Amino acid sequence: MSFLRTLILHVVVLCALPASALAQDLPPPETITRAADAATLVADFYAAAEDALVLILLHMLNSRRSAWEPLIPDLQAASYAILNVDMRGHGDSDGAQDWEAIVADMAGWVDWLADNGHSGEAGLAFIGGSIGANVALISCAQSDICRGAVALSPGLDYRGVKPEAALVDGLAERSALLVAAQNDASSSAAIRQMFLNAKGDVSARLYPGRAHGTRLFDSRYDSVSRLILGWLAELFAPHAG
């Protein structure tokens, strides 16, 4: 069967108020500071019900956690808890852009969630853009409580961060959503390869154009947000708002 014929995602359609209408009623985040080696790491935590699924958001290279601000109100409105991270060497987190250390930092953030009572029975999921998508796939595969990952514009090798083995083997019993633009050549090719080799419950979506990572929100916010929320609601329905 051809890739195009198998590249099908059944999306749950969610009807909700626009994020701008909901934002004024949503609680603000708590800014978290955590030491890791010689670095000080910073993230925003948006609380939800104790049994809520926790979403860990990872931005693109040379970006920062504010890149996720368009999506956060809709995630909050769907009753997810959120940990929006500035990766090491980005935004308010200091240290060098050491990608091996950054992957290790994600395990530290998972431990922080557990230590503070924020990773209950629903577990967690990672959502990342570009190199953050690669880190998200690897970090989910390394976490016993991670149930799935959303990867916006992943690649086969960004700065030595190679997620395919994690997707094929580490997530074989879990779920992933892979998203890219058709003319974003490296990411669209990576998604095709990863989709065909994956063993777990993997869905994929290719959009027209060349937008990369969280820049997909700039031109296709409504569609991308519905895609992510639909995927989360379908897979984590017992725990979604």
pLDDT at position 224 is 98
Q: Domain 27-235 carries which CATH code? A: 3.40.50.1820
- Residue 27 tokens read as 């609680």
24 pLDDT band, cuts 50/70/90, is low
pLDDT at position 153 is 98
3 pLDDT band, cuts 50/70/90, is very low
User: Where are the chain's structural domains?
Assistant: 27-235
- pLDDT tens figures, 101-127: 999 999 999 999 999 999 877 899 999
Residue-averaged pLDDT of the chain: 89
| pTM for the model | 0.89
